[in-house]
Amino acid sequence: MTIKITGPWSLETVQTYLGEIEIPVQIAALNNDNLPVLISLWFSYENNHIWCATQRDAHIVKLLAKNPSCAFQISSEHMPYKGVRGRATASIIESDGARILDTLVTKYLKESDSKFAKWLTSRKANEVAIQLDLVSMATWDFSGRMVNS
């Protein structure tokens, strides 16, 4: 599937940004009242997909299983402002939960022997992966006008 991209960045720049940035993704999904719910999760970027891991019984898993259409944003709150947002279709993949969790622990915690890392990985049996199949992305980068920021 071709991903529609608008804004100043090429697909290669988006891939580099998503591969290097160490902040959570924000995912918006619709609840049972058709109102948006926003959640932040750690993510990894692999093969043009955004991957997250969370517990099988998490609210976001239930919402995305019911309605897989969602929106996402990955951007820092620090200047200069830049980032990626867009629309995606989510899939819940139970078999990849533990693998994605290990990837995220390595990315965000840098070590697997901390107390927090051990607690997270002790729950692998109930972990599922959320795969975002990207439909469209909009990018922005205000680095040029925020040079001294």
Of 91, 97, 93, nearest to 125 by C-alpha is 97
Please state the φ and ψ torsions of residue 100, each to the nearest 5 degrees: -65, -40
Rounded Cα distance between 45 and 76, Å, is 16
pLDDT at 121: 83
**pTM assigned to the model:** 0.92
Q: Which residues of the chain have pLDDT under 70?
A: 1, 148-149
Structural domains for the chain: 4-140 (2.30.110.10)
pLDDT at 8: 94
Please state the φ and ψ torsions of residue 9, each to the nearest 5 degrees: -95, 145
Look up residue 10 and give its two tokens. 């090429």
Please state the φ and ψ torsions of residue 124, each to the nearest 5 degrees: -55, -35
